[in-house]
């Protein structure tokens, strides 16, 4: 009888302890996951329900999203690269294909906008195209430009592509752009 009581007590103690152990693990995981979400900057949390239309968009439409606006205001471009972009004498067009949902776009598109504002070169025409997560829509823009990753900055002189920055720059947006304009880097697999 004593052996049975010992076994019963031992069994119930293990079950009781395991329940508390599993409860502790569950609560720890829940709190850890919640902590990960709350560590986002406040301006990123505000945009979780906001989006802009797919297709061609304006700079002002992009800046309606707080994350783009805040990151643009905080970005400090390199003055030497800005000087090269500022004094570029020939007309060029830069097509910026991005996703308002994309982490890299949220980092590099605001930097690009700050660079263009700082350089203020009237010879550079800029157009922005927002795409879906699959980078398939709007097809009339995505397919001819051969977009595989976003953001993609395509530099065109006339109808000729001088180069592109795909997803992340090699150095900085402004330095890579200056290199493309000056002909130092024309890497473009397209």
Q: Three-state secondary structure along 31-47?
A: HHHHHHHHCCCHHHHCC
Looking only at the bridges linking them, the beta strands covering 124-130 and 152-157 are unpaired
Out of 3.90.950.20, 2.60.120.620, 3.40.50.9100, 3.40.30.10, which CATH number does the structure's domain 45-181 have?
A: 3.40.30.10
> For the chain, which ranges sit under pLDDT 50?
37-38, 43-44, 46, 189-190
Taking a C-beta distance cutoff of 8 angstroms, is the pair 130, 95 a contact?
no
SS3 118: helix
Output the pLDDT for position 190.
Answer: 45
Taking a C-beta distance cutoff of 8 angstroms, is the pair 111, 172 a contact?
yes
pTM of the model: 0.74
Tens digit of pLDDT for each residue in 102-116?
999 999 999 999 999
Tens digit of pLDDT for each residue in 12-39?
556 566 666 666 667 666 666 655 544 5
Output the pLDDT for position 20.
Answer: 62
Enumerate the domain spans of the chain. 1-39, 45-181
């Amino acid at each position: 009888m004593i052996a049975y009581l010992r076994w019963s007590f031992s069994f119930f103690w293990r079950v009781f302890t395991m329940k508390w152990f599993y409860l502790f693990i569950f609560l720890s995981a829940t709190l850890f996951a919640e902590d990960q979400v709350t560590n986002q900057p406040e301006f990123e949390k505000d945009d979780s329900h906001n989006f802009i239309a797919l297709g061609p968009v304006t700079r002002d439409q992009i800046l309606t999203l707080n994350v783009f606006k805040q990151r643009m205001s905080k970005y400090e471009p390199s003055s030497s690269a800005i000087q090269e972009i500022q004094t570029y004498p020939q007309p060029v067009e830069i097509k910026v294909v991005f996703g308002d949902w994309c982490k890299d776009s949220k980092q590099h598109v605001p930097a690009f906008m700050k660079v263009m504002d700082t350089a203020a070169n009237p010879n550079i025409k800029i157009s922005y195209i927002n795409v879906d997560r699959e980078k398939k829509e709007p097809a009339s823009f995505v397919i001819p430009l051969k977009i595989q990753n976003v953001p993609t900055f395509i530099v065109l002189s006339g109808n000729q592509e001088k180069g592109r920055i795909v997803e992340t720059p090699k150095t900085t947006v402004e330095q890579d752009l200056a290199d493309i304009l000056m002909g130092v880097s024309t890497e473009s697999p397209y």
